Every structure is written in structure tokens, then in C-alpha cells.
């Protein structure tokens, strides 16, 4: 039966990075994936341009930008494998990139360049990649693990689980990582879709649908967490970076608040309009600040009509409130079908933060999205995949 020092399940971002690092140490490495190609999510990521890291995914700024039951867990790996280290590899391979916004680094060309780079490094490190191969059973023996694959039976000393989360099943996501964690006695935290558009009940949706295609800059908040980015109205509800970000914090039954005039004093603007153009209808005034259809919807929500000159201070304060904190109550999210990530996963209490090793199962490691660590939108999730894969690759 073929034996490997290290077998890695899942040829995504984390699995490929772990394979490269273990291979570079001279370990014999087999990387297994059930899909036809490695790095399918890398290929489609960042709108096909792969937002491969974020320069702020460092220990100081990264502290608040990763969600987990234990937000400190990610810091060890993130501090040891930094965005600069990944950027150095990207540069070595001559891949051109740019900062789009907020520290987000994207390829100038297609995302497949990142896959080619990783495949190239794997080849140099002597990694064996087998695709279109599924995992039927995994058992632990006295000196390691035995695996029944769809094509053969193999044994290994170290097993790295890098099978990702549940998001986008049609891209190859399965629950294998969670099943293996449970099989080996590791705890799981509740999983739910993250970085996902939010949906609304039929009545609210009908109104929002009328705005489909409109984008506006906003500050979207949930409790004390707030994101200032674009908000996009779609025919299914709300999307855009600000909504995707807040979706990771939002829980069923909660409301979100939208500041439609970030950094502007809406009250002062309204009072100025009352002085300067008292005969204008309130909706026309709002349309001076916001996309016209949105202004119309807000006017309807407020159930207010008439000339702004007739508005009392008290009435203007109500208009100001909706501009600065429009409260919306999503009923759900679009779910794993479109979620960029899965929140929750393998409980970090059962893993060593330095190595990603299971505390009570020698030789077993979990890396990447399968672990209960989820980053903000904007390259944070890939940086976690690279860093956690790298950490396990140093020791497995």
C-alpha cells in the first residue's frame, strides 16, 4: 500500500499552501481533491481577478477583522505568515497586481495566474496531486492514518484536512472536513453562511425590487459593527460589499441600520434646503441627495408629502433619522448557494494555534475555511488560508 509522509485533503488555497511547505521540507506529499481542477475558488475569486490578500491582514489590524469564537486564535499563524510573504511569492512569479481599495490586492490579469503559481511551486516541491478522487474512509492506526480513496488505499503519517467550508456546493464544497473533525472527537461550532446577500419578506422585497441595480455608498451597521462601502439593491434583496460584510455579523431576527449620507450632516442639509427651496416637494429634496428611486421609496416609507417649507423641525428630524439610520429587517440570507464563506467550523479550542494540529489526535491538522476562523471581505480569507496552510506545512 503506498505510504506518504503527509496526505492533504482538499486542493484549495490552504491545501496547496500546506502541500508546498511540507514538500519543501522534503516530506513526501499527496494532495487529493475530488474536483477536476485544483483551486476552483481561487479561479472565480475576486470577480476573476483574485483578491489574494489584504495588506491589513496583519496581527495589529487583523485582530478585529477575523470572526471566531476565539478571535485571538488566528493571530499566531497570521503573524508568522504575513501578507508580505505571499506578495513576495506573487512578485517572484512576475504576477502584476494592484491595490483596489482598503488594502485589497488584486491580480491585474486573470486569477488563474495564482493557481498556476501554486501548481508550479507544488511541482518544484515534489508534491503529488491527484484530482477527481474522492475520500471514502479515513481511519487512524498506530503509526498514522489509512485512507480509502475512490482510486486506491494509502497510508500516511500526517493528515491535513483542507476541505473548506460549505459555501457554493456546486464548486465542490462538502461537509467532509466537519465529518472528519467529529469522527476524531473534535468539537464544532455552529456553521452559517457569511459574506452573503441578505433577503427580505415579500412585502419589503417588492419595494426594494423597484430599486434593483441601484448602488449607493453607505455605512451599514449592526450593533457596534459598521462598514462603509457600496450597498447594492438587487431583485432578491440587498448586496454589495457593505451588506456582505455586515451579513457575517447579522443574526436572524436582527435589524441593520443604513446611513445613506455617510459623514454628512443630514439635518443641516435638510434645513438648508428648507431655507433655500421652501417650495420643493420633500421627495424632490431627497432626490437631490440620493438616487431618485431610493428617494421616492424613503418618501413612501415616511408617508410624508408636501413642500419642505411646511416641514416643522420635528418633522425634519424624522426625515433626518431615516437618512442617517434607515432600519431594515432582513429575514434571511441567500445561503450557502452564494455565500463567499462559511462562518464557524472546527472549534479552535481543539487545535494548536501555532501548528493547526488537533490537540488530542497526533498527526491530524485542520487548515483554512474548515476551521472556525472567518475573515472580512477583501483578501482576508485567502490570507487566513495561506497562513494556516503554511503553519501546518512547517510541521506535518
State the residues that interact with ligand FDA by CB under 6 A.
9-15, 32-35, 40-41, 44-46, 50-51, 134-135, 162-164, 167-168, 172-174, 176, 340-341, 368-369, 379-382, 385
What is the distance between the alpha carbons of residues 10 and 392, in angstroms, rounded to a whole number? 14
Q: Of 32 and 391, which has the nearer Cβ to ligand FDA? A: 32
Q: Of 58 and 283, which has the nearer Cβ to ligand FDA? A: 58
Shortest Cβ 338–ligand FDA spacing (Å): 8
Q: Which three cell numbers stand for residue 163?
A: 476541505
Q: Of 15 and 393, which has the nearer Cβ to ligand FDA? A: 15
What is the distance between the alpha carbons of residues 202 and 85, in angstroms, rounded to a whole number? 48
Nearest 5°: the CA angle 34, 37, 38 is 85
C-beta of residue 141 within 8 angstroms of C-beta of residue 157: no
Give the Cβ contact number of residue 36 at 10 Å.
Answer: 9
Q: Of 138 and 290, which has the nearer Cβ to ligand FDA? A: 138
Give the Cβ contact number of residue 260 at 10 Å.
Answer: 24
Where on the phi/psi map is residue 46: left (φ > 0), alpha (ψ -120 to 50), or beta?
A: left
The CA dihedral of 269, 272, 277, 280, to the nearest 10 degrees, is: 40
Shortest Cβ 275–ligand FDA spacing (Å): 47
Burial class of residue 88, CB neighbours in 10 A (0-12, 13-18, 19+): exposed
Shortest Cβ 317–ligand FDA spacing (Å): 41
Handedness of CA 317, 321, 324, 326 (dihedral sign): negative
Q: Of 33 and 229, which has the nearer Cβ to ligand FDA? A: 33
Which residues, listed in sequence order, are joined to residue 346 by a DSSP beta bridge? 188, 371
Shortest Cβ 348–ligand FDA spacing (Å): 15
Q: Of 15 and 197, which has the nearer Cβ to ligand FDA? A: 15
Shortest Cβ 105–ligand FDA spacing (Å): 9
Please identify the residue of the shown chain whose CB is closest to the bound ligand FDA: 12
Shortest Cβ 270–ligand FDA spacing (Å): 39
Shortest Cβ 91–ligand FDA spacing (Å): 18
Beta strands 225-233 and 188-194: pairing type? unpaired
Shortest Cβ 34–ligand FDA spacing (Å): 4
Q: Which three cell numbers stand for residue 67?
A: 470572526
Closest CA to 15 of 374, 352, 371: 371
Amino acid at each position: 500500500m503506498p505510504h506518504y509522509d503527509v496526505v492533504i485533503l482538499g486542493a484549495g488555497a490552504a491545501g496547496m499552501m500546506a502541500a508546498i511547505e511540507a514538500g519543501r521540507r522534503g516530506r513526501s506529499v499527496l494532495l487529493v481533491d475530488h474536483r477536476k481542477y485544483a483551486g476552483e475558488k481561487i479561479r472565480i475569486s475576486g470577480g476573476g481577478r483574485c483578491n489574494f490578500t489584504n495588506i491589513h491582514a496583519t496581527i495589529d489590524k487583523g485582530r478585529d477583522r477575523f470572526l471566531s469564537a476565539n478571535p485571538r486564535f488566528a493571530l499566531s499563524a497570521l503573524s508568522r505568515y504575513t501578507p508580505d510573504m505571499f506578495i513576495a511569492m506573487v512578485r517572484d512569479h512576475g504576477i502584476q497586481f494592484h491595490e483596489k481599495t482598503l488594502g485589497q490586492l488584486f491580480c491585474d490579469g486573470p486569477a488563474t495566474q495564482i493557481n498556476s503559481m501554486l501548481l508550479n511551486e507544488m511541482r518544484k516541491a515534489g508534491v503529488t496531486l491527484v484530482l477527481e478522487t474522492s475520500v471514502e474512509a479515513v481511519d487512524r492506526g498506530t503509526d498514522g492514518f489509512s485512507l480509502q480513496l475512490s482510486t486506491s488505499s494509502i497510508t500516511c503519517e500526517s493528515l491535513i484536512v483542507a476541505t473548506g467550508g460549505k459555501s457554493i456546493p456546486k464548486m465542490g464544497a462538502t461537509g467532509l472536513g466537519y465529518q472528519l473533525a467529529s469522527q476524531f472527537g473534535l468539537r464544532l461550532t455552529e456553521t452559517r453562511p457569511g459574506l452573503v446577500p441578505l433577503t427580505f419578506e415579500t412585502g419589503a422585497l417588492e419595494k426594494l425590487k423597484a430599486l434593483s441595480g441601484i448602488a449607493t455608498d453607505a455605512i451599514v451597521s449592526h450593533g457596534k459593527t459598521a462598514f462603509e462601502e457600496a450597498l447594492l439593491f438587487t431583485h432578491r434583496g440587498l448586496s454589495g460589499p457593505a451588506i456582505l460584510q455586515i451579513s457575517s455579523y447579522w443574526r436572524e431576527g436582527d435589524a441593520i441600520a443604513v446611513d445613506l449620507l455617510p459623514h454628512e450632516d443630514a439635518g443641516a442639509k435638510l434645513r438648508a434646503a428648507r431655507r433655500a427651496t421652501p417650495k420643493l416637494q420633500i421627495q424632490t429634496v431627497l432626490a437631490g441627495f440620493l438616487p431618485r428611486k431610493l428617494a421616492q421609496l424613503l418618501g413612501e416609507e415616511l408617508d410624508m408629502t408636501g413642500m419642505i417649507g411646511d416641514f416643522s423641525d420635528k418633522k425634519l428630524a424624522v426625515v433626518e433619522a431615516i437618512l442617517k439610520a434607515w432600519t431594515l429587517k432582513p429575514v434571511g440570507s441567500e445561503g450557502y448557494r452564494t455565500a463567499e464563506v462559511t462562518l464557524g467550523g472546527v472549534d479552535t479550542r481543539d487545535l494548536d494555534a501555532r501548528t493547526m494540529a488537533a490537540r488530542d489526535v497526533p498527526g491530524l491538522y485542520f487548515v483554512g475555511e474548515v476551521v472556525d476562523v472567518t475573515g472580512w471581505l477583501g483578501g482576508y480569507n485567502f490570507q487566513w488560508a495561506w497562513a494556516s496552510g503554511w503553519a501546518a506545512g512547517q510541521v506535518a
